[in-house]
Structure 1
């Protein structure tokens, strides 16, 4: 059965009421615009971590979308639902202000309401680069690869790619939230991403897991994939917020050297081919 998010988006598109839907964000004039929501009870539980940790993850998730399209984050719209049990709204405001300053953003508006649970949505505007990066443009024989930190300086034991399946299950079942893991606090490396974006054929950030993201790339580009690695947790792991790239065979060596300069490994796992791609399981949060 098709997931409801997919049904909703496809119906919107058929109604001819959309523009630019399908990438991590949309280009409007000189800006890339992207938005993401964090809902208590759906995306997080408050007992998982402090408000600082939960709010910073929301910032990082949105920043990842902007960087994925080769843009520099500049401005922020904030929509916030403050639960009735949070009395110190000044403290909450200070957290959002601190995060905006930390990541070079100016809050330019939004909306605030009072409700039963904590919800916050960020809409980011980023200054677009000379070359945009989109999900389309993949050709047969292009290589598919993801980024994986490999240095102990990058907390590789906690930040290694593919562990979020385990972290998510433990958080849902036992309330265990490893605060220094990629699941709780993904590390972003914008200089590396922006450098790789220039030579990539296509790209996107990994939010739902590679197995889901490939279905999106396959449909847009009308391609299938030949897998070069055995499927394991790296294939299904959600909320990684690392980049999933497609490189031409002529650019792959340069891409690997660039990733290595930033203490990352570019893990090549598939090649594009003519054909189609079939999902192997349902999306983890549908």
Structure 2
């Protein structure tokens, strides 16, 4: 059955059946608006959009994979503020000949990823469109903590990372060359594994700045450096190249450190911490903050790619 055959309200009914509930969801889909609890009295909000042909391809990713990716991109932004995600709102623009089952599976992926952090899809909108587009807004709760901004890094701080980098970028390269293995890399592109709990943990541990690595480690740390008017240096030896990544890089003629340092879509979290501060579990030191500007690798300008730019 196509979306045109299911009809707008029939499709909504099928999608809502695939959605779960979260602890903060006081009223979910079915009314003009949802109601989400905000015990902190402040709401952290972020939005992101995935466009077919630009952010995903249906021959590379299943509908559930796209749902996981769309949710993860937003949930990671909430975690990077030191907050706990509570809810997602989803706007879906679809070609009318798209199978209704695809939209249902997308909803299942969105709901499953949100459930990892106790959140839920609480509402949204849909429209016919020649281009398949998924736009997600995430909400979060600071739970009484101060937000961790990009602008707080200070000279002497250490730079730490929670999660992995380079895997999704390597998977993208593998798929773009027409291959489907190694599975580790391809699956990393299809479904990020995000250390969501590391964000609030970093906030509790006194992180001075934090950011979600969506466009590449060096590029995103450049935002931290610019916001804090500091320089950041990354230690290349802090990054281990997994065997499957090393083998794929050799076969494809790619420097694996381009993936690790400039590849996006893994949604690791990077943060700066005061010198000597104990790091929460799951965080590892990968660099340092100093007086100056920009981001270097082993104190030298990086000659590889910098990261993703939508308009480049």
SS at match of 1:100: helix
Q: Which stretch shows the higher mean deviation, 272-281 or 215-224?
A: 272-281
What does residue range 59-138 of structure 1 map to in structure 2 within 5 Å? Answer: 59-88=71-100, 92-93=103-104, 95-96=106-107, 99-100=110-111, 103=115, 104-131=118-145, 132-138=147-153
Gaps of 5+ in 2: 1-39, 240-256, 296-300
Cα distance change, pair 275–53 in 1 and its aligned pair in 2 (3 A): same
SS at match of 2:188: coil
Rounded to whole Å, the distance in 2 between the matches of 1:106 and 1:193 is 19
Task: Note the alpha carbon deviations across 1:159-207, whole angstroms, 9 max, x for none.
Answer: x532333212122232638476332212233334322222211111100
8 A contact 1:82–1:115 mirrored in 2: yes
Q: 1:163 aligned to 2:146?
A: no
Deviation at 1:70, TM superposition (A): 1.9
Rounded to whole Å, the distance in 2 between the matches of 1:204 and 1:227 is 15
Task: Note the alpha carbon deviations across 1:136-172, whole angstroms, 9 max, x for none.
Answer: 1111010112124xxxxxxxxxxx5323332121222
TM-score by length of 1: 0.74
Residue of structure 1 aligned with 2:178, choices 174, 177, 184: 174
Gaps of 5+ in 1: 1-27, 149-159
Residue 158 of structure 2 aligns with which residue? 143
Q: 1:195 aligned to 2:193?
A: no
SS at match of 2:233: strand
Rounded to whole Å, the distance in 2 between the matches of 1:282 and 1:93 is 36
Residue 229 of structure 1 aligns with which residue? 236
Deviation at 1:119, TM superposition (A): 0.8
Residue 189 of structure 2 aligns with which residue? 183
Rounded to whole Å, the distance in 2 between the matches of 1:165 and 1:41 is 16
Q: Which stretch shows the higher mean deviation, 102-111 or 45-54?
A: 102-111
8 A contact 1:70–1:129 mirrored in 2: no
Cα distance change, pair 63–222 in 1 and its aligned pair in 2 (3 A): same
8 A contact 2:63–2:109 mirrored in 1: no
Rounded to whole Å, the distance in 1 between the matches of 2:121 and 2:286 is 39
Rounded to whole Å, the distance in 1 between the matches of 2:221 and 2:199 is 19
Residue 284 of structure 1 aligns with which residue? 308
TM-score by length of 2: 0.68
Rounded to whole Å, the distance in 1 between the matches of 2:284 and 2:87 is 33
Residue 220 of structure 2 aligns with which residue? 213
Q: 1:241 aligned to 2:256?
A: no
Deviation at 1:111, TM superposition (A): 2.5
Cα distance change, pair 219–184 in 1 and its aligned pair in 2 (3 A): same
Aligned residue pairs: how many?
238
